[in-house]
Amino acid sequence: MNPMAKAVRLSDYIAAASLAVRREWVRSTHILAPYRMLRLRGPLPDTVAFSIPDLRQGDPAKGSGVLDGRFVFVGDTLDVPADGDPWTQTVPSRDFAAHLHSFVWLRDLLACEETDAESRAGELVDLWIATFGNWNGFAWNPETLSARVLSWLAHGETLFDNRTDRLYCLVRQVRHLSHVCHLAPEGVARLRAAATLFHASCVLDGFEAERARAATLLDAEVSQQVLADGGHISRAPETTANVLITLVAVQKTAEKAGRTLPDSIQKAVDRLGPAVRFFSMGDSSLANFHGGGEGDRRAINAALSQSAAPKRTFGFAPHSGYHRVDSGGATLLLDSALGAKGTHGAQAHASALAFEFSAPGGRVVVNCGWCQDQPRNWRHAVRATAAHSTLTLEETSSSRFLAPGWQRQLLGARFSDMPNNVSARRNEEEIGVWLEGSHDGYRESFGLSHRRRVFLAADGGDLRGEDALFRPADDGPPEDPDTHFRFAIRFHLHPGVRASLSRDAMSALLVLPTGDGWRFRTDGGPVRLERSVYLASGAQPQRTTQIVIHGEAEPYGAGERPPNRVRWAFQRLGRVGHATGKA
């Protein structure tokens, strides 16, 4: 029997420890004022040449809250007087503090129609400078620093016009970022740090050396992170879109400043654009896989329209590991590969063979998903297999995560063990498309592997599937043939779908927001409707419903008959009413 693949190696510990030591060295040396003076000094530019492009739009409602002294991040709230100082307050958590110090909320505040929003924005910047502008180990870490500099530069003409004191603080932060951007966590955080440094070097005179350093780091990170099919190495659709947004903004800044970028940036954008469209469901929002959610639709659309990326379509992303089927206005997306390893998998989910499905009337089957604005106490739960539309065995995830302790503290919450193999193949016919995949994530613990077959008819109105648990012939007979293993096949429904069970509990009626009806049925019932949660939309966690088929599998067989084989189907009925409530 093949054991699960170990996702953590000695080299991972060495790399993580090395990065931690280097970051601690920077933090420790910058505590010393003489060192900061030597490292961060230099000529002061006259001004910020222009505000860098920001493809994301602010939320006036959130901005009004900030204006009133209400800061809401990662599910927590900090209330200060309307004209108070948030920087001297005790914050709810470290994650909250990172959001606060990043100034990502600045676009919301400046999107307000209130006349005092601009003056309050400047006041909050000044208060931050008074408390943290000289140095702070937490507030000046590479991730938070790059986000803050980017936020300030997006409003450069508003914040820095005739304000030498603010400009002086900005320039010191940019110089520090130049020294530490390579110490940002491996992955998209490091790419964003390099992008921020490039933006800054384009709008500040005298930063030619920093611009060259940023371009070199951007070239290296893009070449490593953007896969040949356009997906991001993390396998997260939302991260793929965010990288596209980041690079398009960099291109716009370079164009406005008359600067050149490495050819790899345009090549990456040309791959990212089609990949983002590949990951988009019927309502233009993104599929919820591997640490991402629906994404910022307006920013994504802006990036796609401004990127001039080709509009080619494809059904299989071999490097990202997904299959897509489009039929009759319906879209199916299947996760058919291992989760990302190493630091790139720190947000990955145990979602082997999970799928999402949308119809012309709206999204139907989803995964619970994730958004960075959500409360952190949900983070680990929604990474488990049970939070995805797939089969779980004995309430165990198909991949295992590092347990809390020194290993997770050093390496992050990445995978510790993964299936040896996740694969899928497709067969396209006139009547529709068949997908068949399997993974062995349960083979070591329970002696069974999972196989899933899915068919979407050419008219998009008939989605059929089969889930099977089978014992590989190479493993021989089980030790105890009388042992049975509990399994559950879950189909998480979008919050806009209303579901009701039939009297015999062998089927369910689903009504989409448009009133379009679908019938779910199975030969493996009874069917149960259970509570679920949806975290992918960027709002607070939304209550929703999941269809669940429970059963007990035998420890042997090829999975070709019950109870180890369950068939199910979603079939369109036409208009049956109007869904006014949430499931």
Concatenated DSSP letters for 169-221? HHHHHHHHHHHHGGGSPTTHHHHHHHHHHHHHHHHSTT-HHHHHHHHHHHHHH
Q: What is the pLDDT of residue 38?
A: 79
Report the C-alpha gap between 385 and 387 in whole angstroms.
5
DSSP one-letter code for 241: H
Model confidence, pTM? 0.95
- Strands 449-457 vs 355-359: parallel, antiparallel or unpaired: unpaired
Q: Is the Cβ–Cβ distance between 374 and 75 less than 8 Å?
A: yes
Short-list 171, 166, 77, CA closest to 128: 166
Short-list 225, 242, 234, 453, CA closest to 349: 234
Q: What is the pLDDT of residue 39?
A: 82
Which tokens hold the place of 162? Answer: 């005739």
Return the H-helix or E-strand segment holding 462: strand 462-470
Long-range contacts of 207-213, Cβ-Cβ distance < 8 Å, separation of 24 or more: 207/45, 207/174, 209/178, 210/174, 210/175, 210/178, 211/259, 213/178, 213/181
Helix/strand/coil for 409: helix
Per-residue pLDDT 10s for the chain (583 aa) are: 566 778 888 888 898 899 889 888 888 887 888 778 778 888 999 999 999 999 999 999 999 999 999 999 998 999 999 889 999 999 999 999 999 999 999 999 999 989 999 999 999 999 999 999 999 999 999 999 999 999 999 999 999 998 999 999 999 999 999 999 999 999 999 999 999 999 999 999 999 999 999 999 999 999 999 999 999 999 999 999 999 999 999 999 999 999 999 999 999 999 999 999 999 998 889 999 999 999 999 999 999 999 988 888 899 999 999 999 999 999 999 999 999 988 899 899 999 999 999 999 999 999 999 998 899 889 999 999 999 999 999 999 999 999 888 888 888 888 899 999 999 999 999 999 999 999 999 999 999 999 999 999 999 999 999 999 999 999 999 999 999 999 999 999 999 999 999 999 999 999 999 999 999 999 997 999 999 999 999 768 999 999 999 999 999 989 999 999 999 999 999 887 754 444 3
Report the C-alpha gap between 137 and 159 in whole angstroms.
24
Q: Is the Cβ–Cβ distance between 486 and 552 less than 8 Å?
A: yes
Q: What is the pLDDT of residue 403?
A: 87
Contacts of 61 by beta carbon, 8 Å cutoff, 6+ apart: none
Return the H-helix or E-strand segment holding 463: strand 462-470
